[in-house]
Amino acid sequence: MPERHAPAGTGEARGRILVVDDEPDIRESLYELLSGEGYQVDLAANAREGLSRLEARVYDLVLLDVLMPDRDGMEVLREIRSRDRETPVALITAYGSIPLAVEGLKAGASDFFQKPWDNQKLLIEVSRMISKRRLERENIELRRALKQRYGFPNIVARSERMLRVLDLVAQVAPSRSTILITGETGTGKELIAKAIHANSPRADHMFIAVNSGSLPPELLESTLFGHVRGSFTG
């Protein structure tokens, strides 16, 4: 059966998937199923071809057969992971190779599918893995862009309101003035404080976070600003 590849440009929005399996029927079945859902699908008939395709382009997901004649799928998984620790790899296993699949999960596989698989469940898991990977990539790009613009590598923000906050942080960070940050619990006040500290003249000094909610009111002021020895004695 001749190899099949989706025409360039189709399925790009949903993701690009590489199927590596030595059985033509399995490759054809996965091609029909995944391309029918709008994915861009490339096929490889053996491990060597699969690794070659991975060198040539970036994939959102790799579906890798565990048992292949030219190289063991576990060995291929480890080689993929040595080159790329981010792209999700799902193993395709035959009945009786479940222990291998479990070993694969420990070696860095994201999931495994047992032949014969349930098409609906496979599609759900494929969508989940690709969505997770794309979100991770998006976060990396956002962090990179924010680091270039503000020097804040640990903050991810997209909204105009939050970008205005970061503009303000960049303005006040060089100042030696005391800065008050307010906001609801969980809104990132400590992240903002760390960003200010990291970009301030005091960046080479220690940053100390204090949980003021755990301190009684009479000790909060002395904890933050100090006190005269003996001032709390009777």
Query: Does residue 199 fall inside a structural domain?
Result: yes
Please say if the pLDDT value at position 125 is more than 90. yes
DSSP per-residue string spanning 119-156: HHHHHHHHHHHHHHHHHHHHHHHHHHHHHHHHS-TT--
Q: Which of 140, 174, 194 is the last residue of a domain?
A: 140
* Residue 84 domain boundaries: 16-140
Mean model confidence pLDDT for the chain = 83
Please give the Cα distance from 178 to 172 (Å, whole number): 10
User: Which pLDDT score, from 0 to 100, does residue 31 have?
Assistant: 97
Residue 113 parent element (H or E):
strand 111-114
96 and 205 both lie in a single domain:
no
The CATH number assigned to the domain holding 200 equals 3.40.50.300
Q: Which of 91, 109, 140 is the last residue of a domain?
A: 140
Sign of the dihedral defined by the CA atoms of residues 204, 206, 212, 216, in that order: negative
pTM, entire model:
0.60
* More confident site: 3 or 198: 198
* More confident site: 43 or 96: 43
* More confident site: 224 or 94: 94
What is the tens place of the pLDDT at every residue in 177-233? Answer: 888 888 888 888 888 888 888 888 888 888 888 787 787 877 777 777 776 665 555
Query: Does residue 4 fall inside a structural domain?
Result: no
Query: Does residue 59 fall inside a structural domain?
Result: yes
Query: Does residue 145 fall inside a structural domain?
Result: no
- Read off the pLDDT band of 1 (50, 70, 90): very low
Look at 89-98, 102-111, 151-160, 214-223 and tell me which has the smallest mean pLDDT.
Answer: 151-160
What is the tens place of the pLDDT at every residue in 49-69? Answer: 999 999 999 999 999 998 888
109 and 206 both lie in a single domain:
no
Q: Which of 108, 140, 172 is the last residue of a domain?
A: 140
133 and 179 both lie in a single domain:
no
Q: Which residues does 16 contact at the CB level (< 8 Å), separation at least 6?
A: 39, 40, 41, 42, 57, 58, 59, 60, 61
Domain count, the chain: 2
118 and 27 both lie in a single domain:
yes
111 and 209 both lie in a single domain:
no
Please give the Cα distance from 195 to 183 (Å, whole number): 16
24 and 120 both lie in a single domain:
yes
pLDDT (average), residues 75-96? 88
User: Which pLDDT score, from 0 to 100, does residue 85 have?
Assistant: 83
